[in-house]
Amino acid sequence: MTSGPRPLRGYDVRVALYGEATYLLRDMTALRLDTVGEEIWRRCDGTASVAHIAADIARAYGQPEAEVAEDVSQFLGRVAEAGFLAREEAQYVAPQRDAAADLARWRGIGAEIAAEYPGVVTAFLSGSLVEGIGNSSSDLDLFVVVKHDPRRPDDGQEFAGDVRIDDGLRVDTEIWPLERVQKIAWAISECDLADPKAVMRFPQGWAAFAHRLRVGVPVDGPGELDGIRDAFDWSRLCGIQARRHLLCYNNAAEDVAGAMRQRDAGVALLTSRWALGSAADALLYARGITTTSEKWRFRRIAKCPQPGPLTEYAAFERDGDGDLFSRCEERLRYASRLAHEAITQLAHGQD
């Protein structure tokens, strides 16, 4: 083993529960933990030596220490080889990717999973990996549209779901009934853009699905996928979302002003960022970008046609070294500029 005498969990290793099984996840690598593995991993905090971990588990379970020590050594060898233990390297460099080969592999995985479901109309891959903005920790999103509703009448869910590890890749599968997909398209076309309540009531889960549909790569029924897409008014969806985020911006900006007057630094800091993010998202939607995931805001700005004032966004996210309240004022003025730009865009008939 090369990880040293006091094993420490890697900062980029996640623990996930799928069904009844516990997994360690790091990038595209997954390792299932048994009961002993969970006990060992729990003790990998950088303070306990390998010998101490073995002795502690042996005492807890009343097992011979020599046998437990062998199990501990073998387990730590596996997790070290998988890169799950902290290493001396200060920087992790992601491996180079072959986009065409990756997409072909992902489509193969998606097609195999989709074939398990009855009545498939179409199936497509989507998400950050497919869009080319993901990273080594992203999962693969598969959407399967079926003829008949797979949900129980009383489960209260929009769709049926499944998560699995396939070929070392975490795959999140959503199974949507065709009727629900058609209802989303209808709701977009019928939403009253002049009614703030109607805009705010539009489900964000539907907006997220619509974006995934828009950018999806088919693995089954490509013609059917095109037909479904044709029923969606993407410009109107952008109008709904832009107006929603303008309302969110105004609510947050009002909260910032109140916090500033009360000299409440914590509330001012958080709400000024919410106001800024909402204004930026409003402008992104007004300019035709439909993704709902806030974590990719910088990537969306980079891909935005005619970004204009959005190019300054990163500078206003940072607090800098000056007075916090002065920085909040600057952030609010900039957010107002973005919001006004979004309103101008909408007024020009972009939705």
pTM, full prediction: 0.73
CB 351 within 8 A of CB 193: yes
Q: What is the mean pLDDT of residues 247-260?
A: 92
Output the pLDDT for position 75: 92
- Digit-coded pLDDT (tens) for 295-351: 889 888 888 888 889 999 999 988 766 788 888 989 999 999 999 999 999 988 644
Which of 253, 217, 5 lies closest to 126, judged by CA? 217
Q: What count of other Cβ atoms lies within 10 Å of the Cβ of residue 254?
A: 12
- The helix or strand, by DSSP H or E, that contains position 25, with its residue range, turns out to be strand 21-26
149 pLDDT tier (thresholds 50, 70, 90): confident
